[in-house]
Amino acid sequence: MTTSARRATLRDVVFVDGVRTPFGKARPDGIYAQTRADDLIVKAVRELLRRHPELPPERIDEVAVAATTQTGDQGITLGRTVAVLSGLPTSVPGYAIDRMCAGGMTAVTTTAAGIASGQQDVVIAGGVEHMGHHPMGFDADPNPRFVSEKLVDPEALNMGVTAENIHDRYPHLTKERADAYAVASQAKYAKALANGDIQPDLVPVAVRSAELGWGLATADELPRPGTTAEGIADLKTPFRPGGRVTAGNASPLTDGATASVLAAGDVAAELGLPVRMRLVASAFAGVDPAVMGLGPVPATAKALQRAGLTIDDIGLFEINEAFAVQVIAFLDHYGIADDDERVNPYGGAIAMGHPLASSGIRLMTQLARQFEQHPEVRYGLTTMCVGLGQGGTVIWENPRHADYSGHTTHGHTTAAANLEA
């Protein structure tokens, strides 16, 4: 007589905590120029463990770490090497992920699916990108069929060109609007920094320079406070003559790492872990690679449909600012004003930087803090465009809202919401 395998019931997936390193300039004189990429993500993971002594390290079931360029100090199965370097028990496994800019986001959604289905209880999901050591696309060898068979536009592999293409396709998304959005991002970041909203998520990183000796990175290196529309109006347009995408309205090349802890709702209650938000739904979608910045539009539509929500139910938006035009294209599609206060309240990647695979978790960590400040907001979303024509969106629920539907410390559990198929 055989027995049927136990059929797992979907469980709530909760975001316990997230941290990040300060973000640095990806240049020979940047703060991390002589710091290894894997050391950055190890520092973030060790900080999570330090902040949560209630989490027994042996209870961590998986370490998933993303990087876009998986070579050199970003290679060798990052999740496993980071687990070992972080001092986790050798029993804790790990693996690497690549979905370009949405690598960290995918580390979260992939491990979340495992938690929901009962395959894991607690995981660490992270992302790292040292663009100073590994420029995007460096040493890549795209298959010639992409061009010979006209599968994609020859310039679709250049992200700046794809942003120019959005300006072409939608002329009402003007350079003036993009510049104004970028200026606002810088101003919002400066305000958030002054209010103390940025610093709690940062983990100081010891850095070394052969010329200057040892130092400590404690703040983002990239913001340009005091940026004005007049000051960026005439910047060079590097992706085409007379273009509209400039260094002023795009995210800068960045080095940095992020890490997060996710858990099943009942396991978080068991261990006494904080619940900062609950994963409601996630989705990834593809678009024409020539306009990859439009990816968040269909990804968000998919996620909303899976969650049974509409865009009007979303009270906070964390949108990655790869390019300003990509953000205002999303806002236009959903009828949201460029200066809507719900959008990127702390500023975004235009101000603080975009270390590719790290950024998705940076969005989540900031949304969790905004939920704490806004208990009246029930749902928020994190969304980003992805190279080669994709978008990713994750919808979250605020446990401080009066109608929170997730697991509580009183033992009530609801079925986990729809996850990425």
Any idea what the CATH number is for the domain that residue 353 is in? 3.40.47.10
Is 149 a residue whose pLDDT tops 90? no
Q: How confident is the model at residue 153, as a pLDDT?
A: 81
Verify whether residue 333 is a known catalytic residue.
Answer: no
| 51 inside domain | yes
Return the closest-CA partner of residue 390 out of 65, 134, 24, 106: 106
Which of 130, 354, 374, 407 is an active site residue? 354
Query: Does 198 reside within a domain?
Result: yes
| Torsion sign, CA atoms 269, 271, 274, 277 | negative
What gap in Å lies between CA 120 and CA 114, rounded to an integer? 6
Instruction: For residues 75 and 60, give the distance between their C-alpha atoms in angstroms, rounded to a whole number.
Output: 22
Beta bridge pairs of residue 386: 390
Q: Which residue among the candidates 101, 130, 133, 134 is catalytic per the annotation? A: 101
Among residues 359, 261, 369, which one has the least CA distance to residue 23?
359
Task: Tell me whether residue 405 is in a domain.
Answer: no
- Parallel, antiparallel or unpaired: strands 122-130 and 62-66: parallel
Is residue 49 situated within a structural domain? yes
Task: Average the pLDDT over 254-271 and give the result.
Answer: 98
Give the largest CA-CA distance in the chain.
79
Helix (H) or strand (E) holding 195: none
d(CA 93, CA 70): 18
What's the pLDDT band for 156 if we cut at 50, 70, 90? confident
How many domains does one find in the chain?
1
Asked if residue 78 has pLDDT above 80, the reply is yes
- pLDDT for position 8: 59
pLDDT at position 228:
97
| Lowest mean per-residue pLDDT among 154-158, 201-205, 248-252 | 154-158
pLDDT at 330: 98
| pLDDT above 80: residue 361 | yes
* 141 in a structural domain: no
Q: What is the mean pLDDT of residues 147-161?
A: 85
Domain extent at residue 47: 13-134+153-397
Catalytic pick from 130, 133, 167, 385? 385
Q: 60 lies in a domain?
A: yes
Q: Tell me what pLDDT residue 412 has.
A: 36
Percent of the chain with pLDDT over 70: 95
Q: What's the rounded mean pLDDT across residues 318-343?
A: 98
Between vectors from CA 201 to CA 13 and to CA 311, what angle results, nearest 5°? 50
Q: With 80 as the cut, is the pLDDT of residue 160 above it?
A: yes
- Tell the burial category of 140 from Cβ atoms under 10 Å away from its Cβ (0-12, 13-18, 19+): exposed
Is 101 tagged catalytic? yes
Q: Is 109 helix (H, G, I), strand (E, B) or coil?
A: helix
Tell which wins on pLDDT, 19 or 6. 19
Q: What is the CA radius of gyration of the chain?
A: 21
**Res 2: pLDDT:** 45
Buried b (16+ CB within 10 A) or exposed e, 239-248: beeebbbbbb
> Which of the four pLDDT bands, split at 50, 70 and 90, describes residue 415?
very low
The DSSP code for 23 is: P
In a domain, 3, yes or no: no
Is residue 92 very low, low, confident or very high in pLDDT (cuts 50, 70, 90)?
very high
Residue 92 lies in a domain: yes
Mean pLDDT of 327-350: 98
pLDDT, tens digit (0-9, with 9 covering 90-100), for 162-199: 999 999 999 999 999 999 999 999 999 999 999 999 99
Q: Which pLDDT band, with edges at 50, 70 and 90, does 155 fall under?
A: confident
The SS3 assignment for 103 reads helix
Phi, psi (rounded to 5 degrees) for 26: -85, 70
CA dihedral 382, 45, 101, 25 (to 10 degrees): 110
- Higher pLDDT residue, 3 or 272? 272
Question: Distance (Å, rounded) from C-alpha 356 to C-alpha 381?
Answer: 19
pLDDT value at position 148? 87
> What beta strand segments (E) does 223-378 contain?
254-264, 277-286, 314-319
